[in-house]
Amino acid sequence: MENNRTELEFEKSRLEQTIALAKEQLDQARERNVENKSAIISAKKELRENTSHSIANLWSSEGFEALAALNQYANPITDKIADYEAVENKILLLEKMIQSPYFARIDFKFEDEDIFENIYIGRTSLKKDETNEFFIYDWRSPIASVFYRFVLGQVFYDAPGGRITGEVNLKRQYEISEGELEYYFDADVQIVDEFLRKLLSQNTSPKMKTIVETIQREQDIVIRDMENDLMMVQGVAGSGKTSIALHRAAYLMYQGLSSKLAADNILIISPNSLFEQYISNVLPELGEEHVVSVVFEDIIASVVKNEQVQSRNQFLENLISNTQYRDIIKSSMEFKTSRQFLEILDRFLDDLPHKWMNFEDICYDGECIISGEMIKDKVLSGINETPLGIRLKLIGEYILELISESKKTRLRKSEKILMNEEMLKFMELDLKDVYRKLFHDKEYFYSLAKDIELPGCMDQILTFTQENLDTNMLYYDDATVLTYLNLKIYGINKYKAIKQVVIDEAQDYYPLHFEIFHLLFSKAKFTILGDINQTLEKREDLSLYKQIRKIFNKKKSSLVTMDKSFRCTNEILNYGLRFLEQSTEIKSFNRKGDEPEIYTANDQISYHNMIVSEVKSCLKMGYQSIGLICKTEKKALFLYESLKDKADVQLIKSESITDLQGVFIIPVYMSKGLEFDAVLICDADAETYYSQDDKKLLYIACTRALHRLNLFCMGEASPLLNK
Ligand SMILES: Nc1ncnc2c1ncn2[C@@H]1O[C@H](COP(=O)(O)OP(=O)(O)OP(=O)(O)O)[C@@H](O)[C@H]1O
């Protein structure tokens, strides 16, 4: 008892000291930014006073001096602004730190020393400048890995200088809020599990949360991996893949301090904007504000310009809806993103300058400057070193030089543009037009596809694509192919700086997508996370990861499997398992809840009443996020129209961006990656869910629920619900 009291006193006093130090540094940082601010204002004034004339004259004969003068005044401002921003960032971190400086402590003794040191671990580090003493270690620091990976006893961790061994005789966890120590406990496996179970049984928040306090050993191994150029994770629903992806990005940033990795060197690729919004809090909470995140459509838009492209959500809506086009859309996507079609595309690319370009003689003032045959030779001679589009540009410039020479004077800019538009037009490639030709000339298509295995419905795919390409919209599958062709023909510089790419929900990409990632980020390292059981309208097995490995062809790669789900209760997880064809080993965190129930109604009114009554019960139970999942957007819209006057519900459509707090109606493909306290699968009838692919949708829908899951249907329940 006495001992406990002194321990508590010790912890309280340690917390006070830590907060006092953080406050001192906060005051200093604030002071510094007051100074920075006034320095920026006066430097700006000086710039205005001394350079206003020069800016106006920038393009005149004294332009260069004006520019130099401008630089002389502008550079100090830029430096001050950068410093101001860095200090602002520090202020934010310190403000958070004062509220809750650390969450864990380990007492660690280095192998060759006698004394155990108290290592406090928090979201960011705190060091006393005068003594260099660490009051808090960042959770990403090498020594902090001991907390995540070991219980008590002999331990080790890998530091930049090599492996360090030692001993741990205490592991303690804290709950500190608003600067007050709420409680602490000394951790052994059982207590830690209990702590985590309690944490997981809380209600979800509108945005994804960090998990720094409870990262599991196997998760930590992936987060900190620096050995592999390609790290792949196959993890069951709710096993923490997205959490790992984000914590890994934060870890890479921390590591980047020594390897000069900046925020714009990391790219996170998310499945859609809603998901992007859902995860947008995690990195800032971990102190990393600026990591860039994109969705695949952003990539398409940056490569295929000036086209109206069908969104992925629109594509999925068509793919999943039970319309006459469902099969052909699916076959077309599968084929166009397959290795077989890739081979055809590569043959087509080789063929472009032979078959699809007419090289004409270039004549100027009655004189033949260069023959078409010669241009063609030049194009073909360097085709392996430089992409075709770039080569054509270079040769175009060379021809303009030849014309200048024959004219014996330099061509003016306007003349060059005119010649490009008139004489060299045949050297331009309109890729969409060329791609259209591939599908319009069936005989040619089949000649290219010689010896390649084609799907039985190849003819239908050709006709379907022809028709689509004749519309104003570029369909998602064709836009993906055109992105590939564009990259092969022109290359791209935009993503040259990217050194680390993190791809979540990898199971939804096809081989062609991975080829595109490979072309875009040829020098980058990849972290790829997915679940072969959560595909949309496609079958996957572990060979997905083999394919990825083959496409990226990295020196060192690894595949880690995660089979423990942190999200759902036992009952929900077990219910979801019935939809998996392959027997998958999934462990739950042994959290208990109610068994999911199926409710059927014979008419619309009682069907809607049942749903409204369940929503009310969920709200009464205190659940803050409730997801009403429908198969498609069309069905979601219909349900919304029927319920909106009976309950406070919101509809999530293709491009909705919102906080997930409240009651939502959402199509299943948009619910991927998200989670809700309670889920109602609203259209679990036999007409809606019937195929093998639909089973995966049901699996995805069920595993969105943390605490409560129920299924509703009008008419006959889907036979897929039977075990
Ligand atoms: N180590 C952990 N400690 C606490 N919570 C965790 C941990 N790992 C995961 N979780 C929680 O489990 C839930 C699922 O995590 P996450 O969304 O990252 O899983 P996922 O594998 O990406 O799921 P899905 O594939 O179904 O989208 C989240 O609420 C997350 O906070």
Q: Residue 42: its pLDDT value, please? A: 76
Q: Of the ranges 42-46, 255-259, 576-580, which one carries the lowest mean pLDDT score?
A: 255-259
CA-CA-CA-CA torsion for 315, 235, 590, 170, nearest 10 degrees? Answer: -140
Residues 439 and 459 grouped into a single domain: yes
Residues 390 and 430 grouped into a single domain: yes
With a pLDDT cut of 90, the percent of the chain lying above it is 58
Please say which residue of 550, 565, 580 terminates a domain. 565
Q: Which of 198, 208, 211, 536 to mutate to test the pocket of ligand 1 (most atoms within 8 A of CB)?
A: 211
- Measured distance CA(404)–CA(369) in Å, rounded: 10
Q: Which has more confidence, 538 or 189?
A: 538
Q: Residue 284: its pLDDT value, please? A: 87
Residue with tokens 């699809």: 356
Residues 191 and 204 grouped into a single domain: yes
330 sits in which H/E element: helix 326-336
Q: Is the pLDDT of residue 68 over 70?
A: no
Residues 90 and 25 grouped into a single domain: yes
681 sits in which H/E element: strand 676-681
Q: Residue 411: its pLDDT value, please? A: 64
Q: Residue 367: its pLDDT value, please? A: 76
Cα–chain-centroid distance for residue 490? Answer: 25
Spell out where 63-179 has E strands. 104-110, 117-122, 126-128, 133-138, 153-159, 162-177
pLDDT band at 643 (very low <50, low <70, confident <90, very high): very high
Which amino acid is residue 43, in one-letter code?
A: A
Q: What is the mean pLDDT of residues 152-178?
A: 93
Q: Residue 45: its pLDDT value, please? A: 72
Q: How far is the CA of 226 from the centre of ligand 1 (A)?
A: 22
Which structure tokens are listed for 365?
Answer: 């003032």
- Measured distance CA(431)–CA(551) in Å, rounded: 24
Q: How far is the CA of 566 from the centre of ligand 1 (A)?
A: 6
Which structure tokens are listed for 401?
Answer: 């030089």
Q: Residue 325: its pLDDT value, please? A: 83
Q: Which of 711, 720, 714, 717 is nearest to 598 (CA)?
A: 711
pLDDT band at 417 (very low <50, low <70, confident <90, very high): low
With respect to residue 72, please indicate whether it lies within any of the assigned structural domains. Answer: yes
pLDDT band at 363 (very low <50, low <70, confident <90, very high): confident
Burial (CB count within 10 angstroms: exposed 0-12, middle 13-18, buried 19+), residue 48: exposed
Residues 181 and 309 grouped into a single domain: no
With respect to residue 719, please indicate whether it lies within any of the assigned structural domains. Answer: no
- The domain in which residue 167 lies consists of 102-221
pLDDT band at 422 (very low <50, low <70, confident <90, very high): low
Total residue length of the chain: 723
Q: Which of 210, 212, 566 to mutate to test the pocket of ligand 1 (most atoms within 8 A of CB)?
A: 566
The total of other beta-carbon atoms located within 10 Å of residue 17's CB is 12
Residues 184 and 293 grouped into a single domain: no
Please tell me the residue having the least CA distance from ligand 1 atom 16. Answer: 240
Three-state DSSP class for residue 170 = strand
Q: How far is the CA of 352 from the centre of ligand 1 (A)?
A: 48
Q: Residue 497: its pLDDT value, please? A: 87
CA-CA-CA-CA torsion for 325, 329, 330, 334, nearest 10 degrees? Answer: 160
Instruction: Please state the residue numbers annotated as binding site.
Output: 235-242
Q: How far is the CA of 498 from the centre of ligand 1 (A)?
A: 26
Nearest atom (ligand 1) to Cα of 672: 27
Q: Which of 212, 221, 242 to mutate to test the pocket of ligand 1 (most atoms within 8 A of CB)?
A: 242
Residues 469 and 323 grouped into a single domain: yes
- Measured distance CA(708)–CA(597) in Å, rounded: 10
Residues 344 and 441 grouped into a single domain: yes
Q: What is the mean pLDDT of residues 313-334?
A: 88
Which structure tokens are listed for 600?
Answer: 């059927």
Residues 284 and 327 grouped into a single domain: no
Q: Is the pLDDT of residue 66 over 70?
A: no
Instruction: Please state the residue numbers annotated as binding site for ATP.
Output: 235-242
Q: Is the pLDDT of residue 690 over 70?
A: yes
Query: What does DSSP assign to residue 366?
Result: T
With respect to residue 292, please indicate whether it lies within any of the assigned structural domains. Answer: yes
Q: Which of 243, 579, 586 to mutate to test the pocket of ligand 1 (most atoms within 8 A of CB)?
A: 243
Q: Residue 419: its pLDDT value, please? A: 63
- Measured distance CA(653)–CA(485) in Å, rounded: 31
Q: Which has more confidence, 201 or 51?
A: 201
Please say which residue of 221, 249, 278 terminates a domain. 221
- Measured distance CA(164)–CA(157) in Å, rounded: 5
All residues at 6 or more sequence positions from 381 whose CB lies less than 8 Å from its CB, including other chains:
none
Q: Is the pLDDT of residue 122 over 70?
A: yes
With respect to residue 486, please indicate whether it lies within any of the assigned structural domains. Answer: no
Please tell me the residue having the least CA distance from ligand 1 atom 26. Answer: 237
Which structure tokens are listed for 392?
Answer: 């054509």
Residues 443 and 525 grouped into a single domain: no
Q: Is the pLDDT of residue 148 over 80?
A: yes
Which structure tokens are listed for 688?
Answer: 């809606």
Cα–chain-centroid distance for residue 625? Answer: 23
Q: Is the pLDDT of residue 423 over 80?
A: no
Q: How far is the CA of 220 from the centre of ligand 1 (A)?
A: 13
With respect to residue 262, please indicate whether it lies within any of the assigned structural domains. Answer: yes
Taking a C-beta distance cutoff of 8 angstroms, is the pair 599, 610 a contact?
yes
Q: How far is the CA of 240 from the centre of ligand 1 (A)?
A: 3
pLDDT band at 64 (very low <50, low <70, confident <90, very high): low
Q: Is the pLDDT of residue 110 over 90?
A: yes
Burial (CB count within 10 angstroms: exposed 0-12, middle 13-18, buried 19+), residue 542: exposed
Q: How many domains does the chain have?
A: 5
Please tell me the residue having the least CA distance from ligand 1 atom 25. Answer: 237
Q: Residue 518: its pLDDT value, please? A: 95
Please tell me the residue having the least CA distance from ligand 1 atom 13. Answer: 567
pLDDT in tens, 483-537: 999 999 888 888 888 999 999 999 999 999 999 999 999 889 999 999 999 988 7
Q: CATH code at 307? A: 3.40.50.300
Q: Residue 296: its pLDDT value, please? A: 93
- Measured distance CA(528)–CA(507) in Å, rounded: 9
Q: Which of 452, 417, 243, 436 is nearest to 344 (CA)?
A: 452
With respect to residue 331, please indicate whether it lies within any of the assigned structural domains. Answer: yes
Taking a C-beta distance cutoff of 8 angstroms, is the pair 173, 104 a contact?
yes
Q: Which has more confidence, 198 or 281?
A: 281
Q: Which of 639, 636, 641, 638 is nearest to 652 (CA)?
A: 636
Which structure tokens are listed for 650?
Answer: 């919101």
Q: How far is the CA of 254 from the centre of ligand 1 (A)?
A: 22
Q: Residue 414: its pLDDT value, please? A: 67
All residues at 6 or more sequence positions from 168 whose CB lies less than 8 Å from its CB, including other chains:
106, 107, 108, 109, 146, 150, 152, 153, 155
> Ramachandran region of residue 226, left (φ > 0), alpha (ψ -120 to 50) or beta?
alpha
Which amino acid is residue 459, in one-letter code?
A: D
pLDDT band at 307 (very low <50, low <70, confident <90, very high): confident
Q: Which has more confidence, 294 or 86?
A: 294
Q: Is the pLDDT of residue 222 over 80?
A: yes
Burial (CB count within 10 angstroms: exposed 0-12, middle 13-18, buried 19+), residue 707: buried
Q: Which of 505, 533, 567 to mutate to test the pocket of ligand 1 (most atoms within 8 A of CB)?
A: 567
Ligand 1 binding residues, C-beta < 6 A: 196, 199-200, 209, 211, 214-216, 219, 235, 237-243, 531, 534, 566-567, 673, 675, 703
pLDDT band at 129 (very low <50, low <70, confident <90, very high): confident
Strand partners, 294: 269
Which amino acid is residue 99, in one-letter code?
A: Q
Q: Is the pLDDT of residue 70 over 80?
A: no
pLDDT band at 673 (very low <50, low <70, confident <90, very high): very high
Predicted ipTM beyond 0.85: yes
Give, in order, the Cα–Cα distances in Å from 628 to each of 47, 73, 579, 609, 677: 58, 58, 19, 14, 11
With respect to residue 189, please indicate whether it lies within any of the assigned structural domains. Answer: yes
Please say which residue of 446, 474, 502 terminates a domain. 474
- Measured distance CA(217)–CA(223) in Å, rounded: 10
Q: How far is the CA of 216 from the centre of ligand 1 (A)?
A: 11
Q: What is the mean pLDDT of residues 240-264?
A: 83
Q: Residue 181: its pLDDT value, please? A: 94
Give, in order, the Cα–Cα distances in Å from 699 to each of 525, 576, 577, 585, 669: 31, 5, 7, 15, 11
- Measured distance CA(486)–CA(494) in Å, rounded: 13
Nearest atom (ligand 1) to Cα of 245: 18
Q: What is the mean pLDDT of residues 379-386?
A: 74
Q: Residue 134: its pLDDT value, please? A: 94
Q: How far is the CA of 506 from the centre of ligand 1 (A)?
A: 16
Residues 463 and 538 grouped into a single domain: no
With respect to residue 518, please indicate whether it lies within any of the assigned structural domains. Answer: yes
Using N-to-C axis directions, what is the helix angle for 458-469 and 476-490, rounded to 10°? 80
Strand partners, 681: 629, 711
Q: Residue 426: its pLDDT value, please? A: 63
Residues 322 and 457 grouped into a single domain: yes
